[in-house]
Amino acid sequence: MQWADCYYRWPQFEEYSVEKNWASIIEAIGEDLNRPGLVDTPKRAAKAFEFLTRGYHQSVEEVVNNALFPSDSSEMVLVQDIELYSLCEHHLLPFIGKCHVAYIPTGQVLGLSKVARIVDVFARRLQIQESLTTQIAETIMEVTGAEGVGVIIEARHMCMMMRGVEKQNSVMKTSAMLGSFRKSQVTREEFLQLLRLST
């Protein structure tokens, strides 16, 4: 699949249907939908869920919008501490953290804001962190034609903090290394050293 087609072609978000289902869930837990604080909650929840999963209705082609620029640079480009908000596909609870993206260009560079937008396209879907990390790396690689790409995500998961084992200080870290980032220890070390220098 070409990066321009990296798009979930789902049916249009059916807000009314989602609203009805939220109403059913709220009633099922024993609440009164006629209570003043809850009268409009199903509608608000449907709108919030549409926003939180808007990545299903975005394509990489749309967010990149041809923002690739000629460059003679062959040195590492690093965008660090990109805020990340996603929903765990197992419990529909948030995981929140930051994403670090680096790549080595080969004749063209990607507009700075587009790196963050690509992160959001995939984060704003039901996800597991492992898959999200790989999707971002593969897309940056394909979009830029880079020599290599490295992506690291650090996140806290509400499904582990609010329920289950209820561990408040755990942080999950995942990485995806492609091209020269996978083949060359020197390149990986440069990436990790740049991250350490910035903390």
Which are the catalytic amino acids? 88-91, 129, 157, 159
Please say whether the beta carbons of 58 and 47 come within 8 A.
Answer: no
Instruction: Return the CA Rg of the chain.
Output: 19
Side chain identity at residue 183, one-letter code: K
Please say whether the beta carbons of 99 and 175 come within 8 A.
Answer: no
Please state, in angstroms and rounded to a whole number, the distance separating the CA atoms of residues 82 and 65: 20
Give phi and psi for 169, each to the nearest 5: -110, 10
